[in-house]
Amino acid sequence: MRTVFEKPDAIALVAEVFRECGYEGASISTITARTRLSKGSLYHFFPGGKEQMAAEVLAHVDAWFAREIFVPLETAEPHQAIAQMWTAVEDYFRSGKRICLIGAFALDETRDRFAKPIRSYFERWTNALEAALTRNGTPAGDGRQLAEDAIASIQGALVLARAMADETIFERSLGRMRLRLASHAT
Amino acid sequence: MRTVFEKPDAIALVAEVFRECGYEGASISTITARTRLSKGSLYHFFPGGKEQMAAEVLAHVDAWFAREIFVPLETAEPHQAIAQMWTAVEDYFRSGKRICLIGAFALDETRDRFAKPIRSYFERWTNALEAALTRNGTPAGDGRQLAEDAIASIQGALVLARAMADETIFERSLGRMRLRLASHAT
DNA sequence: CATCGTATAGACCGATCGGTTTAGTAACGC
DNA sequence: GCGTTACTAAACCGATCGGTCTATACGATG
């Protein structure tokens, strides 16, 4: 039997395994088992092995957020860009059933391996949100803090939703944060 | 050469390794290397192996939070108990340089292994904080949401602080949340 | 149809995994 | 001093780790 994959498919499949298992928890054999890609295919696409797989997965996630969230926040009409951010986030994390791979990598020592992409992902997100809030009329001093609160809320809600196995927590938490951001505009 | 340990010391040492590496990332040999406990000692204290080590570490963390935070929130004068919670949290996580082991375990599949302790830790915390807020005069409907927001903020701030390698984020985020809780009392 | 490059399957490798066993050494009750 | 218990050190085990390699299947191009 022989199934043919393309590299973009491979990245998406591998991403899901890292998301579920973490970097250390995702062994090559669990990756082959869950993605149905053989070792040969994996090392064909990612000659650099597990580290390259994770690096490309991080880049792939970052690119998605850049396209759907960061760029709109940076360039589009702020009110609409912020609204789009909330729907994109809710959609992406599937009510907290899916976690933030980059946030998860940040917690243990795999952070050191991928420090730069992890850091720039969160920095770009907070900077972009702060800029959009400011353009939207949020008072000067409040923008930075609200942006940090919003992104921390998202990350924290993911932890809580998984820990308590309760999807409603994620949506409720996001709903409240969305209102807080809106209420600080002029 | 021979060094003698007691089990409580062993638990605290092993806890730090799990905190830094995660469950899967903490191999027995990294544990022996970082704790200076030999395999013999480890399996003497924890005959159930790695899983027992993690289970006892989780119980140890839970006991600390119960003593320093949950019980005060549940039984002591609410205003003071909430103040004590914030100082205990800031102290425990060392300005975000230390992460929440239980939150980190919740993110990947190790959650399934320790679902019960993880869940009950967060449930007790939110319930205790909600009860204290209510006793402190927070309007009926707001208590639950504020409690969830506060704990999610803490978890999220830990992610952000580590991701951006910026300790100030944790303290600023906690400072804001503390004010929000206080401002909702009567 | 022949050929050639791309991609897949899976045997195979040394190293490390979690865990067991054996052989102790120190501290304490008597 | 003598046994017993509590604890440690390290050799050792099969399984699994990340990674390599060979063989082959397939689509595109001639």
* C-alpha B132, offset from chain centre: 19
Q: Do the Cβ atoms of A109 and B25 come within 8 Å?
A: yes
The answer to whether the Cα torsion of B139, B141, B144, B149 is positive or negative is negative
Instruction: With CA atoms as reference, report the closest residue to B15 among B47, B45, B48, B59.
Output: B59
**Residue B12 included in any domain:** no
Enumerate the residues of chain A whose CB falls inside 8 A of the CB of residue B179. none
CA atom of A13 to C1′ atom of C3, Å: 33
**Residue B26 included in any domain:** no
Residue B4: the pLDDT is 67
Cβ B136 vs Cβ B127: under 8 Å: no
Tens digits of residue pLDDT in B108-164: 999 999 999 999 999 999 999 999 999 999 998 899 999 999 999 999 999 999 999
Residue B81: the pLDDT is 98
**Residue B137 included in any domain:** yes
User: What contacts B4, CB < 8 A, 6 or more positions away?
Assistant: none
**Sites in chain A below the pLDDT cut of 50:** none
Structure tokens at A80: 């609409």
Residue A140: the pLDDT is 84
**Residue B36 included in any domain:** no
What's A117's domain CATH number?
A: 1.10.357.10
| Residue A48 CB coordination number (10 Å) | 11
| Residue A62 CB coordination number (10 Å) | 18
Structure tokens at B155: 């978890």
Chain A, nearest residue to B120 by Cα:
A164
Total number of domains constituting chain B: 1
Residue nearest to nucleotide C7 (CA to C1'): A41
Q: Do the Cβ atoms of B165 and A119 come within 8 Å?
A: yes
Tens digits of residue pLDDT in B38-72: 999 999 999 999 999 999 999 999 999 999 999 99
**Residue A17 included in any domain:** no
User: What contacts B56, CB < 8 A, 6 or more positions away?
Assistant: B11, B46
In strand C, which positions have an atom below 7 A from any protein CB? 7-12, 16-23, 25-27
Is there contact between B39 and strand C, defined as CB under 7 Å from any strand atom? yes
Residue A1: the pLDDT is 56
**Residue B43 included in any domain:** no
In strand D, which positions have an atom below 7 A from any protein CB? 7-11, 16-23, 25-27
Q: Which domain holds residue B89?
A: 57-183
CA atom of B177 to C1′ atom of C22, Å: 57
The alpha carbon of residue A1 is apart from the nearest alpha carbon of chain B, in Å, by 30
**Residue B142 included in any domain:** yes
The alpha carbon of residue A80 is apart from the nearest alpha carbon of chain B, in Å, by 25
Tens digits of residue pLDDT in A108-149: 999 999 999 999 999 999 999 999 999 999 998 899 999 999
Enumerate the residues of chain A whose CB falls inside 8 A of the CB of residue B23. 25
Which pLDDT band holds residue B184 (cuts at 50, 70, 90)?
Answer: confident
**Residue B35 included in any domain:** no
Enumerate the residues of chain B whose CB falls inside 8 A of the CB of residue A152. 152-153, 156-157, 159-160, 169, 173
